[in-house]
Amino acid sequence: MHNLPIRCIIAAKYVNVNNMRRLIIPCVWLLCLLLLNPFLLRSEPNPRRKKAPKRIIFLIGDGMGLAQISGVMVNDPKQNAFERFPVIGLSKTASADNYVTDSGAGATVFAIGKKAKNGAIGVDSSEQPHRSIFEWAKQSNWGTGLVVTSSITHATPASFYAHVPSRKMEEEIATFLLQQHCDIAIGGGQKFFTERKDQRNLFAELSQLGFTCKQDSVLVQTDAAKLIYTLAPNGLKTMQAGRGDVLLKGTALAQKNLSKHYQKSFLMVEGSQIDWGGHDNDYAYVQAELVDFNEVLNAVLDWAMADKNTLVVVTADHETGGLSLLENKENLGSFKPHFSTKGHTGIMVPVFAYGPGSEAFAGIYENTEIFEKFAQIIKRNGTTQRAR
Ligand code: MG
Ligand code: ZN
């Protein structure tokens, strides 16, 4: 207590006018130097100033492991979209009850950030529902959408908007769309809305909530901000059976409508049938589906590169088929695709990221982290209002 006045007197003795001048002149010079040299100002970037994306496009190649990508893309004459991503990571895919996950637990973990038991949709290992990334997004006034080549009630898309203990409950899963956490859904699955055991017509109920509900065999343009579009009674055709560019056009439609009607948006796109080809141990099926997925990735990347506000993340829920590329003794410049199982495997899967926020996806991590990274972006960047 007594020392304080003495210190003040000593300080006052040294702070005379000459000392002040000596101090002020170099300070002014230093300030001018900093103001005139933006390079110096930028040398220590403030992490808080990092640009956050306004849009997230999350693409899941169901069952797409590194062998599928390596094998298919080596022979594809089109641009390899995977090589366009500057940030690469690896995701560990084990579920809550099985080192080898299924697509229910594999997508639930992306959607709610919790490990689930195989077969579960949007619930944790105790079957407790947790708010999904779509629900987080809607709460922050983001638009949400999904485009798939399975039914829109299949395990992967369902995990983003529904909470049920079993992926088999597709009729019940469909009713969760009435909660309006998913603005746009494009894929198959009409029968789960109109040919139900409870006789309800969910399309009629969704229409009353303002959704445009379309049932077609071909995709036509529509401007709807809230859209449920089914293109088949259950899953869509395979590429080999003539599906064409439905996934590409569906993704473009969802992206256009989300951009038009919402200032911020989260779109999930699934190459659903890469997995189905793996289960069939049919390399040509996998190849055709992955080539289609690659086309979609290229289009999404072109769009994101022009937009500059879009984060694009691509990964898989797991690998399917235990595919390996064996030496081809008849032609050493090629390989023999070899499947080791009709089921899934527990190998890590690659994660590819582009755009603002993409650096967070580098490294090796549990698949729960993918939800966390998306949730951080939405929490930091979620308070704007609907565009119209
Ligand atoms: Mg799937
Ligand atoms: Zn599967």
Bridge pairing between strands 335-338 and 324-327: antiparallel
Per-residue pLDDT at 23 exceeds 90: no
Closest ligand to C-alpha of residue 279 is: 2
pLDDT on residue 215: 95
How many angstroms separate the alpha carbon of residue 309 from the centre of ligand 2?
A: 33
- And the tokens for 286? 């996998």
Ion ligand 2: residues, Cβ under 5 Å: 275
- And the tokens for 196? 């139900």
Spatial contact of 53 and 357, defined as CB atoms under 8 Å apart: yes
Report helix, strand or coil for 267: strand
- The catalytic site residues sit at 103
Q: Average the pLDDT over 320-331 and give the result.
A: 97
Q: Average the pLDDT over 303-326 and give the result.
A: 98
Q: Average the pLDDT over 180-191 and give the result.
A: 98
Closest ligand to C-alpha of residue 320 is: 2
Report helix, strand or coil for 335: strand
pLDDT on residue 22: 64
pLDDT on residue 383: 52
Bridge pairing between strands 310-315 and 344-345: unpaired
pLDDT tens readout for residues 116-142: 999 999 999 999 999 999 999 999 999
The string of DSSP letters for 291-351 reads HHHHHHHHHHHHHHHHHSSEEEEEE-S-EES--EEEE-TT-TTSEEEE---SSEE---EEE
Can you tell me the distance from the alpha carbon of 43 to that of 231, in angstroms, rounded to the nearest whole number? 53
pLDDT tens readout for residues 234-287: 999 999 999 999 999 999 999 999 999 999 999 999 999 999 999 999 999 999
How many angstroms separate the alpha carbon of residue 303 from the centre of ligand 1?
A: 24
Count of CB atoms within 10 A of residue 299's CB?
18
pLDDT on residue 374: 97
How many angstroms separate the alpha carbon of residue 276 from the centre of ligand 2?
A: 6
Select from 163, 213, 170, 218 the least CA-distant residue to 191. 170
Select from 220, 255, 228 the least CA-distant residue to 151. 228
339 Cα distance to chain centroid: 28
How many angstroms separate the alpha carbon of residue 121 from the centre of ligand 2?
A: 14
Per-residue pLDDT at 26 exceeds 60: yes
pLDDT tens readout for residues 43-62: 444 544 578 999 999 999 99
How many angstroms separate the alpha carbon of residue 156 from the centre of ligand 2?
A: 10
Closest ligand to C-alpha of residue 289 is: 1
CA atoms within 13 A on the CB side of 375: 16
pLDDT, mean over the chain? 90
How many angstroms separate the alpha carbon of residue 297 from the centre of ligand 2?
A: 21
Confidence tier at 27 by pLDDT (50, 70, 90):
low
Domain range summary for the chain, segments of one domain joined by +: 3-42, 52-380
Q: Average the pLDDT over 173-200 and give the result.
A: 98
DSSP tag of 52: P
Higher pLDDT, 7 or 157: 157
Q: Average the pLDDT over 147-154 and give the result.
A: 98
Closest ligand to C-alpha of residue 108 is: 1
Count of CB atoms within 10 A of residue 166's CB?
16
Confidence tier at 379 by pLDDT (50, 70, 90):
confident
pLDDT tens readout for residues 82-101: 999 999 999 999 999 999 99
Closest ligand to C-alpha of residue 65 is: 2
Per-residue pLDDT at 181 exceeds 60: yes
Confidence tier at 341 by pLDDT (50, 70, 90):
very high
Can you tell me the distance from the alpha carbon of 104 to that of 101, in angstroms, rounded to the nearest whole number? 8
How many angstroms separate the alpha carbon of residue 285 from the centre of ligand 1?
A: 15
Phi, psi for 197 (deg, rounded to 5): -60, -35
pLDDT on residue 279: 98
pLDDT on residue 369: 98
How many angstroms separate the alpha carbon of residue 102 from the centre of ligand 2?
A: 6
pLDDT on residue 178: 98
Per-residue pLDDT at 290 exceeds 90: yes
Q: Average the pLDDT over 206-229 and give the result.
A: 96
Q: Average the pLDDT over 215-225 and give the result.
A: 95
How many angstroms separate the alpha carbon of residue 63 from the centre of ligand 1?
A: 8
Which residues on neighbouring strands pair with residue 58, listed in sequence order?
268, 313
Count of CB atoms within 10 A of residue 137's CB?
26
Spatial contact of 250 and 268, defined as CB atoms under 8 Å apart: no
Outline where 209-354 has alpha helix (H).
246-261, 274-279, 283-307
Top-tier CATH class for 52-380: alpha beta
